[in-house]
Amino acid sequence: MTPPGAPEEANHAGRGAPSRFDRLVLLLATGFGLGYAPFAPGTFGSLAGLPLAWGIHQLPEWAQVLAAGLAFAIGIPICSRAAHVIGLRDPGAVVFDEIAAFTVVFFGTPMNGATATLGFLLFRVFDVWKPWPARRLEQLPSGWGIMADDFAAAFYSAAVLWLIAWQFPLG
């Protein structure tokens, strides 16, 4: 069954119905269907990353780094398989990369309403803009490229957010 809003060719790249495993991978990769939003699926995926980031932000710093590394490592095979099933190199419906990258955005910065809003906006700007080397990282093969450019955008966002919070008390 193709989710609402998903193109028909996304149904296992024309090779018949996806397996149960592939449906589970697609569920995770699309952020439980948020990636099928009719516009700006990456923005919806990023919004889903906020609660995950908040939860991880409650952990000690070493555990936050570990959680971000795990999110990246888990995302590579999830995004690789989803791209294969959908039949596109970097499908817009795959938003696990945005969700997972949010684990990095608030490194070193207290998380509150102001920083969450600013971090979200910064991440969206850097994710769309893709300054060097993010655009180059996007060219890595399969799930590596899907994940790496978003993590680069998250690191840029974290650096700018930290600088802003250091200069101007936010919250």
> Please, are residues 68 and 56 in contact by the beta-carbon 8 Å criterion?
yes
Cα 87-88-91 angle, rounded to 5 deg = 120
> Please, are residues 131 and 160 in contact by the beta-carbon 8 Å criterion?
no
State whether the Cα torsion 57-127-39-72 is positive or negative. negative
Is a pLDDT exceeding 90 seen at residue 10?
Answer: no
pLDDT score of 105: 97
Banded pLDDT at 1 (limits 50, 70, 90): very low
Among 114, 113, 137, 134, CA closest to 125: 134
Packing angle, helices 113-129 and 96-105, rounded to 10: 130
Report how far residue 107's alpha carbon sits from residue 127's, in angstroms, rounded to the nearest whole number: 17
pLDDT tens string 148-164: 999 999 999 999 999 99
Give the CA count within 13 Å in the CB-facing half-sphere of 10. Answer: 20
Report how far residue 40's alpha carbon sits from residue 50's, in angstroms, rounded to the nearest whole number: 16
More confident residue, 127 or 1: 127
pLDDT tens string 118-139: 999 999 999 999 999 999 999 9
